[in-house]
Structure 1
Amino acid sequence: MDLAYIPSPSTGVIHLGPIPLRGYAFCIIIGVFVAVWLGNKRWIARGGKPGTVADIAVWAVPFGLVGGRLYHVITDYQLYFGEGRNWVDAFKIWEGGLGIWGAIALGAVGAWIGCRLRGIPLPAWADALAPGIALAQACGRWGNWFNQELYGRPTELPWALEISEGPNRVAGTYHPTFLYESLWCIGVAVLVIWADRRFKLGHGRAFALYVAAYCAGRVWTEYLRVDEAHHVLGLRLNVWTAIVVFVLAVVYLVLSAKLRPGREEVVEPDPDPADSPEADAEAKSSDGADPAGAEAEDPKPDAAETAQAPEKTPVLTKPEPADTTPSPKPEGADAPEAKKL
């Protein structure tokens, strides 16, 4: 075997006792951490608070996983509901099969819920996360390498991917479309970061640029793939999806730049003071609960209240005239003293 070929792992899972450690799952988890880490740095740089990106990702990631799986199962239903297929396999997400289109669409719904709860605009959050999502896809594509899936046409190029014999697989060397798309996604992340710094993209335009750039690369990587897929007018369904989404993203870029130029200021609202622990303690005290060791209430009026109280003006009254009428003398007071004998 030519050493120039890219070998595929003999297995995509390692068992740690009874616990299976799957390479596909690890690639997705690493991608999520990379997206949140970079998105957090960009969000803080735009004036946001640390931790906001992770808090909203708690909503976006589960929605995205469900959406990605639904898109895959719906568009490739024959793999799970055809003759001789087991529909239970539709729930085995660890075996591969996540559609990025469904992941982004339903993940945006989860992100919208998280943004509403935090009181911040979804487009600003999406702009901060856009290059991180591209890097997450670059990491996630290596899960296809572990599962030996989604490779391209046969080739003898030095970087060809070696595929071993297996279910629905023929041994040989093929185009490593997982590697092509992974490198393309890294380039998309770099493009978005550069354009965002250069043109101060806002109101969702950084995210739209990511979508348009990714779709442009997905068209040619999808065209190389040889796995089973539905075709419309001679093209794979995902090729048409990429074309339509690319056009929508470009239209949004143009219209948004005209209608809402510039970049919005990120201002996160402070949490409601009524929900703070200090407010709860104050409310309990106002209900009559006297905390231990509290001092007796000072009966003296507050100095501020005294200062604000209006000063009373003294009322001047006219003094009454003095009574000049002589008081009556007692009887016998003017009689001469009797001469002593």
Structure 2
Amino acid sequence: MLPATIPSPPQGVWHVGPVPLRAYALCIIVGILVAVWLTDRRFVARGGAPGFVVDVAVWAVPFGLIGGRLYHLATDWRTYFGPGGDPVAALYVWNGGLGIWGAIALGAVGAWIACRRRGVPLTAFADAAAPGIVLAQGIGRLGNWFNQELYGAPTTLPWGLEIYRRVDPVTGAPDNLGGVALDRTPVEIVQPTFLYELVWDVLVAILVVVLDRRLTLSRGRAFALYVAGYTAGRFVIELLRTDPATRVFGDVRINVVVAGVVFVVALVYLLVVRGPREDLSASMGPEPGSASGGSGTPGHVSADHQHAGPETDDRRGPDDAQSARENRQDAAAPDKDTSHGAGEPSGVDAEPEGTMDQEDAPAEPPSAARG
């Protein structure tokens, strides 16, 4: 045994009565929860509505699981439908076997449906979701560790992964997924490719967050950065894996080809697309019951009240002043002071006679009385 190696878990399934708790499924669930949490924080920080990410997850997660399983079945169909295969096992998602390419493709369809219902640009949501998705992928790789799968060739590196022989504890028959390692002596020490991808996924998530802040990535460019970064690492890691896989062009693993093609597409998108960030606060629209307008609202009552006041004053004020001036003119001598009449309020009595000399009280012209 090497002086330093990574042990595998002795088992990947625990039973609570008749209910099996599978580590692979638990890792997938934890990854989804982390992705939703991180995406919601980033989406709100970009101006989106809190809680909207959960609405998208209701659509995207089931679509993604179905897409991931369909991709796995399409690229590894011999395991289930070939000679000696078990077609029913194609439904056993909890045993592992989710292709990330199918999960992203069909999950995007579910996200598009949810975003379209609320008027949110899919690219804006994808930018917010990118770090959470790749982080969820890394957490999901821990499920491969529990299942003792997706590892590489034998190695003498100090971080080699110990592989144990697992058996059914009752019958003693070999059972790698549901069995228990009764003997911790490793039957093989291999490259921990699951760990390589886990570490790479975390680094890609950090890279996306940092560059997104510094460069203000928009219109799907943060998502394209995630895809390009992930596929670059996946291309190399696939070359280290030795598990059975569909091969094309002679002896090339199909995921190597897919990773290369997707990397080129993502890189071109990242370099070509430009534009400001989408305004999520505007595209979300008003929440139900928050729309203003209509009769009976405080705003309209206040506006009517403010309009009615000046209108009444403008209509009545000049008439009252004119009436007062005419009354004073009828009661006073023609030479009495009325120079202040236009400025007097309604109802003010005329000044008594004799308070001013005739020279100091010029007669008010008729036009001034209406000025």
**What TM bracket, shorter-length normalisation?**
0.7 to 0.9
1:265 aligns with 279
Mapping of 1:189-200 within 5 angstroms?
189-200=205-216
Residue type of the alignment partner of 1:266: L
TM-score normalised by structure 1 residue count: 0.78
Q: Is the 8 A contact 2:231 2:260 kept in 1?
A: yes
**Aligned ranges for residues 215-294 of structure 1 at < 5 Å?**
215-233=231-249, 234-257=251-274, 261-267=275-281, 268-273=284-289
Contact 2:138 2:199 in 1 (8 A): yes
- What is the CA–CA distance in structure 2 between the aligned matches of 1:141 and 1:86, rounded to whole Å? 25
CA contact (8 A) 2:2 2:156 kept: no
Whole-angstrom distance in 1 between the partners of 2:236 and 2:128: 27
Taking the aligned partners of 2:121 and 2:280, their CA distance within structure 1 comes to: 8
Structure 1 partner of 2:81: 81
Task: Mark the runs of 5 or more structure 2 residues left unpaired by the alignment.
Answer: 167-173, 177-185, 297-303, 316-371
How big is each residue's C-alpha offset from its partner over 1:181-211, in whole Å with a ceiling of 9 and x where there is no partner? 0000000000100110111000000000000
Using a 3 Å threshold, how does the CA distance of structure 1 residues 304 and 140 change in structure 2: closer, same or farther?
same
Alignment of 1:47 with 2:47, yes or no, is yes
SS at match of 2:21: strand
Matched position secondary structure for 2:280 = coil
Letter in 2 for 1:235: V
Aligned to 1:204: 220
C-alpha separation in 2, matches of 1:96 and 1:213 = 24
Cα displacement (A) at 1:303: 7.3
Separation of aligned partners in 2, 1:189 and 1:274: 37
Instruction: Tell me which of 194, 197, 209 is aligned to 1:181.
Output: 197
1:264 to partner: Cα distance: 2.1
State the SS of the aligned residue for 1:21. Answer: strand
TM superposition shift of 1:306? 7.7
What per-residue deviation string (whole Å, max 9, x for no partner) do you get for residues 222-264 of structure 1?
A: 111101112122310000000010011011112212xxx2322
Write the deviation string for residues 116-167 of structure 1: whole angstroms up to 9, x where unpaired. Answer: 1122111101100100111101100000001000101110111101112356
Q: How many angstroms does 1:49 deviate by?
A: 1.4
For the residue of structure 2 that corresponds to 1:155, the secondary structure is: coil
- Name 2:152's counterpart in structure 1: 152
1:158 aligned counterpart, secondary structure? coil
| Counterpart in the other structure of 1:132 | 132
Letter in 2 for 1:251: V
Separation in 2, partners of 1:205, 1:216:
16
Matched residue type, 1:244: V
Q: How many angstroms does 1:68 deviate by?
A: 0.2
Secondary structure of the 1:152 match is coil
The one-letter code matched in structure 2 to 1:230 is T
Counterpart in the other structure of 1:106: 106
- The Cα of 1:266 is off from its aligned counterpart by 1.7
Contact 2:134 2:201 in 1 (8 A): yes
2:120 pairs with 1:120: yes
Distance in 1 (alpha carbons) for counterparts of 2:97 and 2:187: 21
Q: CA offsets per residue over residues 10-44 of structure 1, 9 Å max, x none?
A: 21111111211110011111111111111111111
The one-letter code of the counterpart of 1:139 is I
1:94 paired residue number = 94
Q: In the alignment, is the contact (CA less than 8 A) between 2:121 and 2:278 conserved in 1?
A: no
Query: What is the CA distance between 1:85 and its match in structure 2?
Result: 1.3
- Tell me how far 1:304 sits from its aligned partner: 8.6
Residues in 2 aligned to 1:193 and 1:246: alpha-carbon distance in whole angstroms: 19
SS of structure 2 residue aligned to 1:141: helix
SS in 2 for 1:273: coil
Q: Cα gap change, 1:265/1:168 in structure 2, threshold over 3 Å: closer, same or farther?
A: same
- Counting aligned pairs with the same residue, the percent is 58
SS in 2 for 1:252: helix
When the two chains are superposed, the root-mean-square deviation of aligned CA atoms in Å is 2.5
Letter in 2 for 1:181: E
Report the Cα distance in structure 2 between the residues aligned to 1:8 and 1:305, rounded to whole angstroms. Answer: 79
Normalised by the length of structure 2, the TM-score is 0.72
Q: Which amino acid aligns with 1:36?
A: V
The structural deviation recorded for 1:2 is 3.9
| Residue 213 of structure 1: how far off its partner (Å) | 0.3
